Chains A and B, each alone.
Chain A
Amino acid sequence: MNLVLAAEGLDIWGDLGEVIVVGLISGVGLSIVFALTIRAFALETVARREGRRGEARRHAAVAVVFSLLSIAVIGGALFSMLHR
């Protein structure tokens, strides 16, 4: 069944596939990236409290990278909203 609304130029199955793929990747991706950010910050706090400075610095760097990634994902979402 090839459901195409000719008047709308809307290819239902094609658009549906795109929504599923993009929604899955961005939704799961955002959650993973943000969870990794929180994990890095939490581990950095523990390492700092226990005086393991080198490890704390490493975790802090990872936290900064994932924070920037999280901000980029949310910024991308805002950009797509503003430029649709």
Chain B
Amino acid sequence: MSTDILLVLVVGTALIFDFTNGFHDTANVVATSISTRALQPRVAVLLAAILNFVGAFISLKVAATIANGIVDAGAIRLQVVFAGLVGAIIWNLMTWWFGLPSSSSHALIGGVVGAMLVAAGPGAIFVDGLLGKVVIPALVAPVLAFLVAGISILFVYKIVGRLSPGPVTRGFRLGQIATGSLLALAHGTNDAQKTMGIITLALVAHGSLPTEDPQVPGWVVFSAASAIALGTYTGGWRIIRTMGSKIIKMDAAQGFTSQGSGAAVILAATHVGFPLSTTHVISGGVVGSGAAKRLSAVRWGVAGNMAIAWVLTIPAAGAMGAIAYGISWLAGGGTTGPVVVCVVLAAMILVMRVRRQTPPPIATEAAA
């Protein structure tokens, strides 16, 4: 009975994480399209939500045995996964509150690493894996997208620069719908897999699925797809504002090159199995397309805040995962601990909702 409750808690928390992943990452897909008026805001998030939902069904390769190669898989227990998810959810909510785009995947990895560190000690963390699968890609993703978008926009301005702006803008807006759709589809395919992987792992640990070659149940696919789509439709408007208009004031050509370069880099990385963060890629692309036009066109203060959030993501989500595991352990572990953590998390979300009407000074400053 108690393992059933723990399973329900982990599945529920995984779906909440999936939801926050959706609304946190909506900006990656729709911000540039909204900013350049390629699409109306509601239409953009609806399209992104539908394509995220469809994308979740495209591939069922559950490569997302979470933090695979980063932590000792043999030491992963449901309580660790639960605490890791809680750490990731809290970090996603905090960065959303400040309107900062940050990687949900890194938040999840950080949360699990932090919880694992407390649960099993440093021996359960593979530093090589962390370096190769997280740190190096985190450095490469924004720089590569920056270069691709920067070079692209220089060519684009050379090709269409002397033409009448009307048809050019209309053309690039049309192109943005295609590249934005590609991004949404890729996002659904990649990110919904993480939640499916977590739930499948929980079902295996519970004994509901065989340990040898477990198949992802249909309800898991459907619920993960629905959660990410619903989160996407809800839309993290604070992050959309940051990504769409606070970093650079972009024209349709810049919007197209950011999205097109982002889609190209993400798909190239996915094809060879190299893990890149959608957030890092798109942000790098946006900054690149702005900087190539004019360095002063980029609000480097906002870009700097984002970079700080990226650097902080793994340690901060890790610390929260560790605290969540600690609270759970102090409350008696087993099923009671996660229940107590759920109560604390629910109280935090309630407080954030109450305070939602009064954004902090940094958000007001960013909106100015």
A residues whose Cβ falls under 8 Å from a Cβ of B = 3, 5, 7-8, 10, 12, 15-16, 18-20, 22-24, 26-28, 30-32, 34-39, 41-43, 45-46, 70, 74, 77-78, 80-82, 84
Q: Tell me which of B128, B132, B178, B273 contacts A74 (CB under 8 A).
A: B178
Task: Chain B residues near A27: list those with CB within 8 A.
Answer: 148-149, 152, 260-261, 263-265
Interface contacts (Cβ under 8 Å), in number, total 149
* Chain B binding surface SS class: helix
The residue in chain A whose Cβ has the minimal distance to the Cβ of B153 is A31
Q: Tell me which of B69, B178, B269 contacts A23 (CB under 8 A).
A: B269
Task: Chain A residues near B167: list those with CB within 8 A.
Answer: 38, 41-42, 45
In contact, B274 and A38 (Cβ under 8 angstroms):
no
With the chains together, A16 CA to B138 CA distance in Å?
12
Min CB distance, A5 to chain B, in Å? 5
With the chains together, A84 CA to B159 CA distance in Å?
34
Q: Tell me which of A7, A34, A39, A46 contacts B260 (CB under 8 A).
A: A34
With the chains together, A54 CA to B152 CA distance in Å?
31
CB contact under 8 A between A42 and B164, given known A7-B69, A31-B156:
yes
Min CB distance, B317 to chain A, in Å? 22
In contact, B273 and A10 (Cβ under 8 angstroms):
yes
With the chains together, A7 CA to B179 CA distance in Å?
35
Apart from A28-B261, A77-B264, list 5 A-B contacts with CB within 8 A.
Answer: A3-B128, A30-B152, A34-B172, A77-B182, A78-B182
Min CB distance, B266 to chain A, in Å? 8
Cβ-based interface call for B131 (8 A): yes
* Chain A binding surface SS class: helix
In contact, A19 and B263 (Cβ under 8 angstroms):
no
With the chains together, A27 CA to B148 CA distance in Å?
6
The residue in chain B whose Cβ has the minimal distance to the Cβ of A22 is B268
In contact, B270 and A36 (Cβ under 8 angstroms):
no
Cβ-based interface call for B171 (8 A): yes
In contact, B265 and A23 (Cβ under 8 angstroms):
yes
In contact, A77 and B267 (Cβ under 8 angstroms):
yes
Cβ-based interface call for B140 (8 A): yes
In contact, A28 and B148 (Cβ under 8 angstroms):
yes
Q: Tell me which of A5, A77, A84 contacts B69 (CB under 8 A).
A: A5
With the chains together, A37 CA to B168 CA distance in Å?
10
The residue in chain A whose Cβ has the minimal distance to the Cβ of B262 is A27
In contact, A5 and B128 (Cβ under 8 angstroms):
yes
Min CB distance, B193 to chain A, in Å? 11
Cβ-based interface call for B271 (8 A): yes
With the chains together, A34 CA to B260 CA distance in Å?
10
Q: Tell me which of B163, B261, B272 contacts A15 (CB under 8 A).
A: B272
Task: Chain A residues near B264: list those with CB within 8 A.
Answer: 22-23, 26-27, 30, 77
Task: Chain A residues near B131: list those with CB within 8 A.
Answer: 3
Cβ-based interface call for B367 (8 A): no
CB contact under 8 A between A31 and B155, given known A3-B128, A77-B182:
yes
Some 8 contacts from A to B, beta carbons below 8 A apart, are: A5-B128, A5-B132, A12-B136, A26-B268, A31-B260, A32-B152, A38-B163, A42-B171
Min CB distance, A10 to chain B, in Å? 7
